[in-house]
């Protein structure tokens, strides 16, 4: 075992072996809402990419209108990254 400042470090696997029997089985069931979240965020990204493909045809005065959608698209990418981690 490694020690840091005179404290013994316990491996993560030891915690998992101890805690798993204490948790209900529902904690390990797959979440069906993940597919809904995936679909919504993919739709947001596809919509944004479709609009971005036509931005060259927009009047330059109105290009700032795309900024809120670009921010939402960035959030969708982050949501997809975190939801794929589960």
Token pair for 27 = 């904690």
Helices (H), the chain: 12-19, 33-53, 66-85
Residues 6+ apart with CB under 8 A from 8: 1, 2
What's the structural domain count of the chain?
Answer: 1
Question: How far is it, in rounded angstroms, from Cα 8 to Cα 23?
Answer: 25
What pTM, to 2 d.p., does this model score?
0.66
The Cβ-side half-sphere exposure at 79, using a 13 Å CA radius, reads 18
Tens-place pLDDT, residues 17-44: 988 899 998 888 888 888 899 999 999 9
Length of the chain: 86
Residue-range definition of the domain harbouring residue 12: 3-85
Token pair for 42 = 């993919």
């Amino acid at each position: 075992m490694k020690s840091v400042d005179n404290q013994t470090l316990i491996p993560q696997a030891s915690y998992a072996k101890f805690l798993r029997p204490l948790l209900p089985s529902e904690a390990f069931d797959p979440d069906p809402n993940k597919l809904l979240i995936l679909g919504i965020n993919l739709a947001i990204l596809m919509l944004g990419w479709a609009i971005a493909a036509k931005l060259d045809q927009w009047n330059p005065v109105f290009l700032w209108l795309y900024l809120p959608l670009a921010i939402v698209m960035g959030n969708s990418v982050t949501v997809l990254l975190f939801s794929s981690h589960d």
